[in-house]
Amino acid sequence: MQLSDLLTQTTDLLTHTTNLEKRDISRLQEVLREHNRLYYTEQSPIISDREYDILFHALKNLEEQHGIWDISSPTKRIDVLVSSQFQKWFHASQMISLDNTYDENDIADFEGRIRNVLRQKNIKTWNNDIIAYAMELKFDGLGLSLTYRNGELVRALTRGNGAEGEDVTINALQIKSIPRSIPFTSREVEIRGEVVLPISEFMRINRERMEMGEKVFSNPRNAASGSLRQLDYTITASRNLAFYAYSFPYAETEEGREQLKIATYRDYISLLESFGFTKTPYIFNASNLGELQSEIHRLTLNRPVFDFEIDGLVIKLNNLKLWHILGTTEHHPRYAIAYKFPAVNVRTKLLSIEHSVGRTGIITPVAILEPVNVGGVTVSRATLHNYDELAKKGVMEGDQVFIVRAGEVIPEVIGPIIEVRNGEEKNITPPTHCPSCGTLLSQDIGKVALYCPAYSTCPAQTSGALKSFVGKHGANILTLGDKIIDIFIEQGFLTDFVSIYHLKEYTLSILDMEGFKSKKVENILESIEVSRSMSLANFFVALGIPQVGRKTGKLLAKYVSDKKPNETTLWDILFHLTYEELEQIHDVGPATAGSIVYYFEENREMIIRLLREVHPTFPVIQIEAEEWKLIGKSFCVTGSFEGISRDEIHAIIEEHGGEVRTSVSAKLDYLIVGSDAGSKKTKAEELGVKILNLEELYKLLNT
């Protein structure tokens, strides 16, 4: 896969993580495998760790949601190609990853999971006592496993895919901070740690490579990996790599703890130092959760600076006996978690401003930037939100600016670096006319947004509205993709919602176009026909009424269906809805009520024409709002069920007023489990979330 195609697919997946479906699983797996190859084999990642984590968890959730168990999936193993130039060996035990978070508040959930596991195991000691922690740096380097036999170093393996690594023993012997022998000879043991390249060395190496016309390393981690995997060991020796040990698996066993007389992680680290390994530059002992959180917050605001890169902190329980009790999942140990620092600011040049027209006509200023690498991704665009915000920040075209990218698809401009202005910068003036259709822009009193009032005659708004209309939670015409919609708008086949249902008239013209074979066109037209009977809730979502999403669409659909006698047309009801009555619907506030009434008043003619083409179906289950059993309760559904799909269970929950979520957290009320429930059930057990089977859900509805 070309890197540009990979980045495009990655960006698309990151943009739509909340709307991914079963059919996206294979694409996610392929994309993650390619990123694994770039990270582990090529040492040239193109996305940030945060973005990788987002895609990884999206795939994991999809596989669990659809009951898919694929041993070759990137969620089960890092299936990278281990280089053929180094002999391969299996690790004595798998080098699993750490669970991670970017949110300081998640550390409390981490402790909550620990206490729940202890309660389930009926461990009275520590069950209610204060739990102590040890915290150290999360090195941004290359994992390495060292095997010592009779106290002598006999093998060094890279992490590889976690189960199998490359033998780099000769090169590892060139690293001064790796002892050739240790004072532990009673058995063969493995010691694990991280190889890092000092930043000063990284800069020196890159200067030399530039002078010789060679490609420079993109970051110290890639340089460390490349240095350790040299065929010429003298090159490795010349690069002054460093090694920090953090794991001695034998010391974590009951036998090991007794033989070595260690009880805490501080003892553990001191033991490794006594073996000759370099002392860790930072370790913090917290006697309770509050102390731990305070230190994390302090270091997040004042990130420590060392001569090597770190990307966060590793938090471990201080008592080693708890490690044995808690154990591990297939992916990570339960006694440790990594906290990753937020994204850092970077500097680049703001070349120009693009005035972007959204689906509802709102004009947004977007900064076009001199391309810059942020967290492994080349960034060339960043949002400025609105023109008031732009004015407050005081940015100008030609400015050097700071931008930040913390997991967002489009980064944000923080502000200009005024001190480096040279007088060539230009003020940014808000547009007066729509960039798409040329219509004079409007601005409502008391509002900051500029918008184009042309609506249906504005090509940009038409494109955005149609793409929203055909979405999964709208008309669900997924065969009409974004590119196809833009092509059909350009050809004049699509102009508004109603035109979708007249697309058949252009069949011959479409078939004459490149890339539109008969089967493809047939599928498009078939999907359009099926959508004529979309649910009323989907109909309201498809219209794109401001502030009306899936939940409000369902509430509005139920309210309308309760009002409709057989002889009344749907549009008669919609055009007579009042602000006062809508505001009384549970969870529909004043702003949303006003938006609904205004939309129906302003789009009367279009809605009548559209309802002559589509015939929305009304909710089957009629339940009075005061009788909704699940109001205020949240549910997640996992596993497979006989005779009913998860989507149907979701519908039952929502029809009874409950909220459906896709992930398990401490704030979830219930997890509904079927067969092969997977890790969501494990996590729910750890967090103390109440778990129900389908029969128990039905009982809950009938109480």
- The 10s digit of each residue's pLDDT in 430-471 is 999 999 999 999 988 877 889 999 877 898 999 989 999 999
Q: Residue 48: pLDDT above 80? A: no
Reply yes or no on whether 138 is catalytic: yes
Q: Is the pLDDT of residue 144 over 80?
A: yes
For residue 271, pLDDT over 90 is answered with yes
Is the pLDDT confidence value at 535 over 80? yes
Q: How confident is the model at residue 324 (pLDDT cuts 50, 70, 90)?
A: confident
The residues spanned by each domain of the chain are 3-81, 100-340, 343-453, 455-531, 536-611, 625-702
Q: What is 100-340's CATH number, 3.40.50.1820, 3.30.470.30, 3.30.420.40, 3.20.20.70?
A: 3.30.470.30
- Residue 648 has a pLDDT of 75
Q: What is the mean pLDDT of the chain?
A: 84
Q: Give the model's pLDDT for residue 80.
A: 52
Region 359-381: what's the mean pLDDT? 83
Residue 192: phi and psi, rounded to 5, are -120, 150
pLDDT value at residue 337:
93
- Taking the domain 625-702, which CATH number applies? 3.40.50.10190
Where does 536-611 sit in CATH, by number? 1.10.150.20
Same fold, 455-531 and 536-611: yes
CB distance 475 to 534 below 8 Å: yes
Q: Round to whole Å and give the CA distance between 316 and 555.
A: 46
Distance CA 38, CA 46 (A): 8
SS3 518: helix
What does the radius of gyration of the chain's CA atoms come to, in whole angstroms?
29
DSSP track, 287-347 = SSHHHHHHHHHHHHHS----SS-EEEEEEEESBHHHHHHH-B-SSSBTTEEEEEPPPPEEE
Say how far apart CA 568 and CA 201 lie, in whole Å: 78
Domain 455-531: homologous superfamily in CATH: 5' to 3' exonuclease, C-terminal subdomain (1.10.150.20)
CATH of 343-453 among 2.60.120.200, 3.90.1170.50, 1.10.490.10, 2.40.50.140: 2.40.50.140
Nearest to 686 by CA among 324, 265, 339, 328: 328
User: CB-hemisphere CA count at 13 Å for 433?
Assistant: 4
**Rounded Cα–Cα distance for residues 328 and 339 (Å):** 18
In angstroms, how far apart are the furthest CA atoms of the chain? 91
With beta carbons less than 8 A apart as the criterion, state whether 201 and 239 touch: yes
Q: What is the mean pLDDT of residues 118-122?
A: 81
Residue count of the chain? 703
For 506, list phi and psi in degrees, rounded to 5. -105, 15
Give the residue from 221, 321, 334 showing the smallest Cα distance to 265: 321
* Bridge partner list, 372: 379
Residue 83 has pLDDT above 60, yes or no: no
Kindly indicate whether the domain formed by 3-81 is annotated with CATH number 3.50.50.60.
Answer: no
How confident is the model over 490-501, as pLDDT tens digits? 899 999 999 999
Q: Which two tokens stand for residue 111?
A: 């402790």
Asked whether the CA dihedral 205, 210, 214, 215 is positive or negative, the reply is positive
Given a contact cutoff of 8 angstroms between Cβ atoms, the answer to whether 338 and 138 are in contact is: yes
Q: Mind giving me the DSSP string for 387-430?
A: HHHHHHHT--BT-EEEEE-SS-SS-EEEEE-GGG--S--B----
- Residue 330 reports pLDDT greater than 80: no
Note whether 495 and 610 are within 8 A (CB).
Answer: no
Alpha-carbon separation of residue 457 from 464, 494, 502 (angstroms)? 12, 12, 18
Helices and strands (DSSP H and E) totals, the chain? 27, 20
| pLDDT confidence tier of residue 71, bands split at 50, 70 and 90 | low
Catalytic entry in 76, 121, 138, 699: 138
pLDDT of residue 626 exceeding 60, the answer is no
